[in-house]
Amino acid sequence: MSKIHVVGAGVAGLAAAVDMAAAGREVVVHEGAGHAGGRCRSFHDEALGRRIDNGNHLLLSGNRSARAYLARIGASDSLTEPAEARFPFLDLSNGERWEVYPNAGRLPWWIAVPSRRVPGSRARDYLRALALHKAGPDASVADVMSAAGPAFERFWEPLAVAVLNTAADEAAAHLLWPVMAEVFGQGGSACRPLIARDGLSESFVDPALAWLATRGCPVRFNRRLRAVEIEAGRVAALRFGEDEVRPGPGDAVVLALPAPVLGGLLPEITTPDAHRAIVNAHFLLPGPPARDLVFLGLTGGTAHWLFVRGEIASVTVSAADVLAEQSNDAVAATIWPEVARALGRRGEAMPPVRIIKEKRATFAQTPAQVRRRPAPRTAWPNLVLAGDWTDTGLPATIEGAIRSGQRAAAIVLTS
């Protein structure tokens, strides 16, 4: 039987491996690090003495690729799923709180109800999202949506920055449309916020590794790919240091690597070459652990999203290139007062904290960089690409990463 080599055990590589193994193919996964998951993982932090996520990742109930992946690996019940779609917000500049509260059906009658929308916004401000469908290839989110007033400033812009990890005045507007069409356009039943109950690894990584193991598909760690050898129009060898893998005539290779790594191995492939940072801050809260998971959008300050799971309050700041250049102490000193205000802990001393900076968290999702996304098929018939930076038609999110892996698997399985 032919063999498929998947290089990279992030969620894109794992999704590809799972789909191909489910089809009965022999799959081997090679991972350069000592763990799987890439950016989507959990680990024990020595400073806090707790297990934390590398960063915060929010899914929505309409993310069909991620949900299919979780169902296949038996992890569907590992996410919290509220009965309704509610997005609570706090304006840090004035203390005002509100909720964006879509109704369950596809007919968006909620936009006519003031208590379900951003204060001061109008129903037509939400219909402006339809203009994303006709956005030109060079239009930014702000070009298309900024006239939406308070709805833009307090909902659409925070959402766009979170999804695209790029400032609204430079983020590609047309890349936000699939989120509108697949999620918000389907009504509240498709945009309920889903959060890992225990941790990202417990939802997306560990069940996949266990699932692959039961099917005899090994995942080999600490195997960094050093070179890809091309001969006679196909991948002839994968070089992992002193070790070498030579794919047979019927074998295939899926490279699910970060864009900078792939570009260094195969410069013939055009890849995005500009990136944006994400900064995460994890605080160990004093007192009894929170019983219910807290999810809160923040405007008017530095922090963008706040998650509280048990004793850990985690903050995410997207498009955070400037913040990422500051010292960890400075970042913590900026963010903790905002967390304290949001949680009713003003005046409390800053608790133990871990700052995680990812300076290349995603590619910069600008029109120019979107045009540099390569297709999954390559010039070499036995090589397919996967990764949230490839041309999935979606933003660089968990949903995009998983869908890229599933598409790579589909290509290999039909070749």
Are 158 and 176 in contact by the 8 Å Cβ rule? The answer is no
How many domains does the chain contain in total? 3
Q: Please check whether residues 240 and 143 belong to one and the same domain.
A: no
Sign for the pseudo-dihedral over CA of 293, 294, 297, 301: negative
Q: Give the mean pLDDT per block of 10 residues along the chain (415 residues).
A: 94 98 97 96 95 91 97 96 94 96 94 96 93 96 90 94 97 96 93 94 98 98 97 97 93 98 98 98 90 88 95 97 98 98 94 97 98 98 98 97 98 94
Q: Please check whether residues 91 and 177 belong to one and the same domain.
A: yes
pLDDT at 148: 77
pLDDT at 147: 80
Burial of 181 (0-12, 13-18, 19+ CB in 10 A): middle
Q: Please check whether residues 92 and 159 belong to one and the same domain.
A: yes
Neighbouring C-beta atoms of residue 206, cutoff 10 Å: 20
For 214-251, write each residue's pLDDT tens digit.
Answer: 999 999 999 999 999 999 999 999 999 889 999 999 99
Structure tokens at 405: 């892996």
Backbone angles phi, psi at 28, to 5 degrees: -125, 130
Are 12 and 176 in contact by the 8 Å Cβ rule? The answer is no
Domain range for 150: 83-191
Structural domain ending residue among the three candidates 171, 191, 211: 191
| Burial state string for 223-252 with b = 16 or more CB within 10 A and e = fewer than 16 | bebeebeeeeebbeebbbeeeebebeeebb
Structural domain ending residue among the three candidates 160, 191, 222: 191
The C-alpha angle 160, 162, 164, rounded to 5 degrees, equals 60
Q: Please check whether residues 120 and 130 belong to one and the same domain.
A: yes
Q: Please check whether residues 268 and 372 belong to one and the same domain.
A: yes
Percentage of the chain modeled with pLDDT above 90: 94
Alpha helices in 266-366 (DSSP H): 321-324, 328-342
> Which of 165, 162, 179 shows the shortest CA–CA distance to 65?
179
Q: Please check whether residues 265 and 382 belong to one and the same domain.
A: yes
pLDDT at 1: 66
3-state secondary structure 30-81: ECCCCCCECCCCEEEECCCCEEEECCCCCEECCCHHHHHHHHHCCCHHHEEC
Q: Please check whether residues 182 and 203 belong to one and the same domain.
A: no
Are 298 and 97 in contact by the 8 Å Cβ rule? The answer is no
Instruction: Return the beta strands (E) in 219-370 as ranges.
Output: 219-220, 227-231, 234-240, 243-245, 252-255, 275-284, 294-299, 305-309, 312-317, 353-363
What CA–CA distance (Å, rounded) separates 381 from 98?
Answer: 53
> Which of 350, 354, 365 shows the shortest CA–CA distance to 395?
365
Q: Please check whether residues 187 and 247 belong to one and the same domain.
A: no
For 138-170, write each residue's pLDDT tens digit.
Answer: 999 999 998 878 999 999 999 999 999 999 999
Domain containing residue 268: CATH number? 3.50.50.60
Q: Please check whether residues 200 and 310 belong to one and the same domain.
A: no
Q: Please check whether residues 184 and 208 belong to one and the same domain.
A: no
What CA–CA distance (Å, rounded) separates 57 from 310?
Answer: 17
pLDDT at 58: 85
What CA–CA distance (Å, rounded) separates 405 from 75?
Answer: 18
Strand ranges across the sheet with 383-385: 219-220, 26-30, 3-7, 252-255, 383-385
Structural domain ending residue among the three candidates 163, 191, 219: 191
> Which of 13, 22, 413, 410 shows the shortest CA–CA distance to 216?
22
Q: Between β-strands 26-30 and 87-91, what pairing exists: parallel, antiparallel or unpaired?
A: unpaired
Q: Please check whether residues 17 and 46 belong to one and the same domain.
A: yes
Q: Please check whether residues 97 and 167 belong to one and the same domain.
A: yes
